[in-house]
Amino acid sequence: MITLSNLSCVFQTEQVETTAIDSLNLKINKGEFVGIMGPSGSGKSTLLTVLGMLDSPQSGAYFFEDQDIANYSEQQLGELRKQSIGFVFQSFNLVDSLTVYENVELPLLYLKVSKSERAERVNTILERFGLQHRANHAPQQLSGGQQQRVAVARAIIIQPKLLLADEPTGNLDSKSGKDVMDMLTQLNKEGTTVIMVTHSETQIQYCDRVVRLFDGKLVSDDAVVDVKPVKTAEA
Amino acid sequence: MYTLSLINNYIKSGVRALTRHKMFLALNFISLSIGMAATILVGAYALHEISYDRDQPNAERTYRIIDHDVKSGRSYSLSSPRAFQQYNKISGVEDHMGLFKADWLIERNIEIDGTDFKLGDVYAGTENMLDFINIDVIQGDLAPALSQPDKIALSRAEAIRFFGSVDVVDQKLLGRKKTWTVAAVYENLPTNSHVHMKAIISGKPFLPYMGKLAYAYLRLSENVDVESVSKSVTQIMADIWQSSMDVSGTVYKLQPLLDIHLDPNLKEEMKIGGAHLVVNLAIVLSLLLVFIASFSSINMSVARAGERATEVGIRKTLGATKSQLISQFLFESVLLYIVSGIIACVIAFFFLADFNLLVGRQLVLEYWSWVGVAIILFVVLLGLVSGLYPAVFISSFKTKRVLSGDLSRGKTSIILRKVVLVLQSSISIGFVVASLSFYQQLNFLQDLSTNYERVNRLQISSILTGKVFYHEHFDETLDQVALEKLQREQSRSLTRAVENLDGVVSSTATDFDFTRSLNAGVRNVTIQGVETFAQSFGYGGVGYDAAKVLGLKLVAGRDFNQQSDWHNREKKTVSIFIPESMVLLAGFDNADDAIGKTAHFAAGPFKKINAIIVGVFKDIKLSSVKDVSYPMIFGCGLSWTQSSSMVFEVEQDTANVRDQIKTLMQDKLQMYPLEVESLESNYELIYQDDSNLSKLILTFSALIVCLTTIGLFGLCAFTAVRRSKEIAIRKVLGASKLSLVVLLAKEQIFINIIGMLLISPAAYLLINRWLSGFNDRIEQSIVIYLLAGVIITCITAATIAVIVNRVMKLKPSRVLRDS
């Protein structure tokens, strides 16, 4: 589904040039659950934003479903992104001025989905995540776990081919964190490719494969072979 | 459908984002709506001012003849009965119309069904008046009123005042000697016209008088050279007057009808006109207000951009294009401006009466017309323009940086914000300086010594000169010498009668008006042993005791007395006062040397007058100090103007004294009705325009400072929120309130200093230009500029102190935990 070849990303700040990603080669197949690990500054968040088409690489190729999108215009990237990719962030990033319902509905507005279909899809997903009684609340009125569930709902309402998660449980207590991880696992089972940045070895257990980065370079790319008690219990 | 949903979404998030910060919203609404309200009022005013006389027939080809004195730069409406017959002979002139104020020539007291009324603003015109002035006749026919001497046309208001109805054709107005028959009733003339006539009569009987108070209007053919027509007019006048007056310094000009209202007012206008300066200044000031309000709004939007940045990042992530985001924020801006616009309309409506008082007009706001559409367009345009920068700025946040919490702002935005702040601070300081200077200058003028007395001096003006002075009659059959003797006797008996009144000290006649200017001048002046003076002098005819009554300061000699000083036509003698400034010019060592010497001059119809100098007075200042003043000679009992005044020195200006004077004078002069005015209030009227201008500037300056402060308050409040963590840490470390105010105010005070340095040269030049219009003026001092800077800095510091006080109330522990 995704192939990165010799991909580099450089940031220019004031006087310093920082190479965030250095000649990276990576292939991710459809339906995989990939974890990305590495210390601070190793380039994992940058990798995620490049994968999410929020940043463009300086060199190298990025094939998304066999198309090289490295030279796509911002407009084209936006078009591709809103149809194919969902995001979940550590800090939830809900729009404060919109209600839960409106937050979840937002991607559908940009996809020009009709009003009746929007209502149906938003209600279905809120019900599935147990959030329908919160539909008219403002994000600030919700707990962290609930906010992240809204964020996940918003990410998957477009039925994305790829779900990108940046430390989705980083700001959550363990119970809420587990709920969110369960949701991601469930989505992955339903066919969505999931790529997740994490610091937590525990959460790597949910993944099929773990990619480790250091100084923007790929250090290791292994299948997660450990028996996954959590995952089996869930299954 | 989709677009509607998206707009709906914009509205929701826009309204909520705005309402989340009640203070931000309130500040924006206050400053924007005040700015827009000012613009609406000023816009209505400006439109009204430029609409004057546009509805008159062939307005763009119609001109008024004015007489322009090259030396003094003053203009008059002056014509001659003989010129009227010649205007049509000038090539390019299609038609001409004569019009003049008849109040002083007709008997104004009338009786209707046993009730007394008084006619006022009666104008006599030629028969073709309707070809020049739009008059909407609602009853009867105007033609008889313009052609028959006993017919009159009344305006709707006058008809209703006299009869309570407009259906009054053929009704009678009974005077003592004359009965008027109403021929027509016309709709009240529109306010946006320089013409103001409450009643119209035929000009025919008054043709010989069509001089000083006559307006002559010319209609030119298309594409005619206006300059050549005015030259022809000048030539006609020169031919007529070459025998009797000095015409070398006089040119005649054609003033376009459409310019009459905003051009400098002539002394004899039908009503007080406007001024280009006031209109332009008002427009500039109101636009400045809107700009300042918009700048504040832009600055506040950019300052709180960080709050919206996350939303932008999310929307981008979810597929919003940059143009969609820009339109979202533009939409929010327009929304804000529309609501402010609505508030502005309400504010303008409520302040209309006060504004009308300030500009002296009766403006109405007709929102349900194209005016409303214009306001909507203006507001939307303003919303779009001032929303553009914040919209582009906010939408340009890099998604990745925003979502990872990096909200550092670009250099451009910081520079722009500072530029805007410097600009606002310059404007504020500039206007404080201007207001202070205006105030200073006007006070200076009011206190200026004019070397004549205004307190406890009453005046009756518009008296036919022949009633108080000897007046040259063109009728050769009359015995001029006998007439003059009679007149001298009359003046003496009048003086005695006035002095017998309770509360009246003395009186004298003058053939000029202190608060206006001289009507006459003398030329070819020689004083014993001294050659002809190169310059001509002003001349004022006065009566007995002039120095005492007028409060002239005699530095030598004595006052005019009844024994010997009155003009003697037979001997061609008259006693005169000369001004102190003339003493040196005449080669005398001191004022006393001049006394008793004889001067000769030509004056009006008199070829050579032998004048004996009996007094020397300190030069006086007539009219406004803005006018150039010439040295003037006063002569006793000699006048050749048409209209004169009586001035009375009273013990105290009371209604009783005024009544007595009025009754006596009406009886003695056989003129009805006369009006008693106070010299002091007439003097204040001269500076009415300047005083209104200074009120206008003061009001707008206050608003400008107020809006700048609001903007600054909003900006500082957001800065304080942004830096609340820093403030909290400093507080934990023991910072005092004062040190925090200094911390936050440092930048702004620096900005004020730069603003002051930037605006000072421009302000200095502009204020100097305004001051140069006055002969007597204040010197600009640096103190005013420093004072303005200090005032603005104090307001700045106070604003910041209020905010620091608010922030200090927050518990640092909470601030630090929340962040």
CB–CB of B13 and A95 under 8 A? yes
Q: Are strands B199-202 and B151-155 parallel, antiparallel or unpaired?
A: antiparallel
Verify that B393 and B356 share a domain, yes or no. Answer: yes
- State the smallest CA–CA distance between residue B397 and chain A in angstroms: 12
Verify that B171 and B246 share a domain, yes or no. Answer: yes
* pLDDT reported for residue B796: 85
CA distances from B5 to A167, B11, B326, B330, B345 (A): 33, 10, 17, 17, 30
* Cα–Cα distance measured from residue B208 to residue B352, given in angstroms and rounded to the nearest whole number: 46
* Cα–Cα distance measured from residue B775 to residue B445, given in angstroms and rounded to the nearest whole number: 10
Q: A89 at the B interface (CB within 8 A)?
A: yes
CB–CB of A78 and B12 under 8 A? no
Average pLDDT over residues B455-470: 82
Identify the CA nearest to A194 among candidates A174, A210, A218: A210
More confident residue, B141 or B813: B141
* Cα–Cα distance measured from residue A218 to residue A21, given in angstroms and rounded to the nearest whole number: 9
Verify that B474 and B424 share a domain, yes or no. Answer: no
Verify that B555 and B640 share a domain, yes or no. Answer: yes
Q: A17 at the B interface (CB within 8 A)?
A: no
Residues 21-40 of A with CB under 8 A from B: none
- State the smallest CA–CA distance between residue B406 and chain A in angstroms: 13
Asked, for residue B724, whether it belongs to a domain, the answer is yes
* Cα–Cα distance measured from residue B356 to residue B364, given in angstroms and rounded to the nearest whole number: 9
The domain spans of chain A are 2-234
CA dihedral B660, B664, B665, B668 (to 10 degrees): 180
Verify that B388 and B434 share a domain, yes or no. Answer: no
Which chain B residues contact residue A51 at CB under 8 A? none
CA-nearest residue to B320 within chain A is A110
Under 8 Å between Cβ of B428 and B708 = yes
Asked, for residue B677, whether it belongs to a domain, the answer is no
pLDDT at residue A70 tops 90: no
Structure tokens of B802? 């209020």
The pLDDT tens digits of the residues spanning B327-347 come to 888 988 998 999 999 999 999
Which chain A residues contact residue B320 at CB under 8 A? 78, 110
CB–CB of B12 and A54 under 8 A? no
Verify that B715 and B790 share a domain, yes or no. Answer: yes
* Cα–Cα distance measured from residue B538 to residue A60, given in angstroms and rounded to the nearest whole number: 95
The pLDDT tens digits of the residues spanning B690-731 come to 777 778 888 888 888 888 888 888 888 877 777 777 777 776
Asked, for residue B180, whether it belongs to a domain, the answer is yes
Under 8 Å between Cβ of B446 and B625 = no
The pLDDT tens digits of the residues spanning A97-113 come to 788 998 898 888 888 88
Structure tokens of B215? 């307006």
Average pLDDT over residues A190-215: 90
CB–CB of A78 and B321 under 8 A? yes
* pLDDT reported for residue A235: 34
* pLDDT reported for residue B141: 93
Interface of B with A (CB under 8 A): 1-2, 5-6, 9, 12-13, 16-17, 20, 310-311, 313-322, 324, 399-400, 403-405
Asked, for residue B678, whether it belongs to a domain, the answer is no
Dump strand ranges (E) for B637-731: 643-650, 676-678
* pLDDT reported for residue B242: 65
More confident residue, B417 or B159: B159
Structure tokens of B288? 């400045």
Instruction: Find residue B537's DSSP bridge partners.
Output: B522
- The superfamily CATH assigns to domain A2-234 is P-loop containing nucleotide triphosphate hydrolases (3.40.50.300)
User: Which of B13, B318, B406 to mutate to test binding with chain A, by most A CBs within 10 Å of its CB?
Assistant: B318
* pLDDT reported for residue B75: 75
Relative orientation angle of helices B305-317 and A100-110, to the nearest 10 degrees: 60
CB–CB of B319 and A107 under 8 A? yes
Phi, psi of B200 (to 5 degrees): -125, 135
Confidence class for position B534, pLDDT limits 50, 70, 90: low
- State the smallest CA–CA distance between residue B711 and chain A in angstroms: 24
Average pLDDT over residues B375-386: 93
CB–CB of B16 and A97 under 8 A? yes
Mean pLDDT is lowest, of A163-167, B522-526, B796-800, for: B522-526
Which chain B residues contact residue A97 at CB under 8 A? 12-13, 16-17, 20, 311
Of A52, A78, A98, the CB nearest to B12: A98
- State the smallest CA–CA distance between residue B6 and chain A in angstroms: 6
* pLDDT reported for residue A233: 38
The pLDDT tens digits of the residues spanning B220-259 come to 998 889 999 988 888 888 887 665 555 667 788 899 999 9
* pLDDT reported for residue B593: 87
The pLDDT tens digits of the residues spanning B724-756 come to 777 777 766 667 777 778 877 888 888 889 999
Average pLDDT, chain A: 85
Under 8 Å between Cβ of B755 and B426 = yes
pLDDT at residue B160 tops 90: yes
* Cα–Cα distance measured from residue B135 to residue B132, given in angstroms and rounded to the nearest whole number: 9
ipTM of the complex: 0.71
Give the domain-ending residue among B651, B666, B696. B651
Under 8 Å between Cβ of B114 and B174 = no
CB–CB of A94 and B404 under 8 A? no
Of A82, A97, A115, the CB nearest to B17: A97
The pLDDT tens digits of the residues spanning B70-122 come to 766 667 776 677 787 788 888 889 999 988 888 777 877 788 888 888 888 89
* Cα–Cα distance measured from residue B535 to residue B528, given in angstroms and rounded to the nearest whole number: 17
Average pLDDT, chain B: 83
The pLDDT tens digits of the residues spanning B364-375 come to 888 888 888 999
CB–CB of B20 and A97 under 8 A? yes
* pLDDT reported for residue B468: 80
Burial of B442 per CB tally in 10 Å (0-12, 13-18, 19+): middle
CB–CB of B403 and A89 under 8 A? yes
Asked, for residue B802, whether it belongs to a domain, the answer is yes
The one-letter code for the residue type at A215 is D
Q: A110 at the B interface (CB within 8 A)?
A: yes
User: Which of A90, A92, A95 to mutate to test binding with chain B, by most B CBs within 10 Å of its CB?
Assistant: A95
Residue whose entry in the numeric block shows the structure tokens 């003046």: B491
pLDDT at residue B184 tops 90: yes
* Cα–Cα distance measured from residue B428 to residue B292, given in angstroms and rounded to the nearest whole number: 10
* pLDDT reported for residue B20: 76
Q: A14 at the B interface (CB within 8 A)?
A: no
Phi, psi of B118 (to 5 degrees): -130, 130
* pLDDT reported for residue B402: 67
Under 8 Å between Cβ of B492 and B510 = no
Of A93, A109, A115, the CB nearest to B310: A93
Phi, psi of A106 (to 5 degrees): -50, -50
Q: Are strands B457-464 and B676-678 parallel, antiparallel or unpaired?
A: antiparallel
CB–CB of A97 and B311 under 8 A? yes
Verify that B468 and B430 share a domain, yes or no. Answer: no
Phi, psi of B520 (to 5 degrees): -140, 165
Neighbouring residues of B661: CB distance < 8 A, sequence distance ≥ 6: B458, B460, B498, B501, B504, B648, B676
Q: Tell me the HSE value of B773 on the side-chain side, using a 13 A CA sphere.
A: 11
Q: A83 at the B interface (CB within 8 A)?
A: yes
* Cα–Cα distance measured from residue B425 to residue B75, given in angstroms and rounded to the nearest whole number: 42
* pLDDT reported for residue A231: 44
* pLDDT reported for residue A188: 92
Relative orientation angle of helices B679-686 and B688-722, to the nearest 10 degrees: 50
Structure tokens of B558? 């004595």
Which chain A residues contact residue B322 at CB under 8 A? 74
Which chain B residues contact residue A75 at CB under 8 A? 321
Of B311, B319, B400, the CB nearest to A95: B311
Asked, for residue B352, whether it belongs to a domain, the answer is yes
More confident residue, A120 or B400: A120
Average pLDDT over residues B268-293: 84
The pLDDT > 70 percentage for chain A reads 94
Of A89, A98, A110, the CB nearest to B320: A110
Of B313, B319, B403, the CB nearest to A81: B319
* pLDDT reported for residue B815: 61
Q: How far is CA B48 from the centre of its chain?
A: 15
* pLDDT reported for residue B378: 92
Asked, for residue B614, whether it belongs to a domain, the answer is yes
Burial of B573 per CB tally in 10 Å (0-12, 13-18, 19+): middle
* pLDDT reported for residue B360: 82
* pLDDT reported for residue B244: 54
* pLDDT reported for residue B212: 58
pLDDT at residue A172 tops 70: yes
The pLDDT tens digits of the residues spanning B487-498 come to 777 777 888 888
CB pairs under 8 A between A and B: 77
Of B6, B13, B321, the CB nearest to A97: B13
Q: If you write DSSP's letter for every residue of B308-370 in order, what string do you get?
A: HHHHHHHHHHTT--HHHHHHHHHHHHHHHHHHHHHHHHHHHHHHHHHHHHHHT-------SSH
Asked, for residue B658, whether it belongs to a domain, the answer is no
Verify that B326 and B419 share a domain, yes or no. Answer: no
User: Which of B2, B314, B331 to mutate to test binding with chain A, by most A CBs within 10 Å of its CB?
Assistant: B314
User: Which of A79, A96, A141, A166 to mutate to test binding with chain B, by most B CBs within 10 Å of its CB?
Assistant: A96
CB–CB of A109 and B405 under 8 A? no
CB–CB of B318 and A102 under 8 A? no
Phi, psi of B663 (to 5 degrees): -60, -45
Q: What is the pTM of this model?
A: 0.75
| Residues of the domain holding B199 | 59-259
CB–CB of A154 and B318 under 8 A? yes
- State the smallest CA–CA distance between residue B761 and chain A in angstroms: 39
pLDDT at residue B817 tops 90: no
Say how many residues make up chain A: 235
Enter the DSSP assignment of B193: S
pLDDT at residue B648 tops 60: yes
Q: A81 at the B interface (CB within 8 A)?
A: yes
Under 8 Å between Cβ of A101 and A136 = yes
Verify that B233 and B372 share a domain, yes or no. Answer: no
pLDDT at residue A183 tops 80: yes
pLDDT at residue A55 tops 80: no
The count of domains in chain B is 4
Confidence class for position B142, pLDDT limits 50, 70, 90: very high
CB–CB of A52 and B313 under 8 A? no
User: Which of B19, B311, B317, B400 to mutate to test binding with chain A, by most A CBs within 10 Å of its CB?
Assistant: B317
Q: If you write DSSP's letter for every residue of B391-432 in order, what string do you get?
A: HHHHHTS-HHHHHTT--PPPHHHHHHHHHHHHHHHHHHHHHH
Verify that B397 and B438 share a domain, yes or no. Answer: no
Q: For residues B459-479, b (16+ Cβ closer than 10 Å) or e, as one string? A: bbbbbbbebbbbbbeeeeeee
Confidence class for position A162, pLDDT limits 50, 70, 90: very high
Confidence class for position B818, pLDDT limits 50, 70, 90: low
CB–CB of A55 and B400 under 8 A? yes
Instruction: Find residue B101's DSSP bridge partners.
Output: B123
The one-letter code for the residue type at B332 is E
Under 8 Å between Cβ of B391 and B301 = no
Which chain B residues contact residue A114 at CB under 8 A? 1-2
* Cα–Cα distance measured from residue B334 to residue B10, given in angstroms and rounded to the nearest whole number: 12
Under 8 Å between Cβ of B565 and B492 = no
Verify that B360 and B461 share a domain, yes or no. Answer: no
The pLDDT tens digits of the residues spanning B577-627 come to 999 888 887 878 888 988 988 888 887 777 788 899 999 999 887 766 666
Verify that B404 and B417 share a domain, yes or no. Answer: no
pLDDT at residue A228 tops 60: no
Of B12, B17, B317, the CB nearest to A102: B12
Residue whose entry in the numeric block shows the structure tokens 């820009």: B326
CB–CB of B1 and A114 under 8 A? yes
CB–CB of A93 and B314 under 8 A? yes
Identify the CA nearest to B147 among candidates B181, B176, B186: B181
Which chain B residues contact residue A55 at CB under 8 A? 400
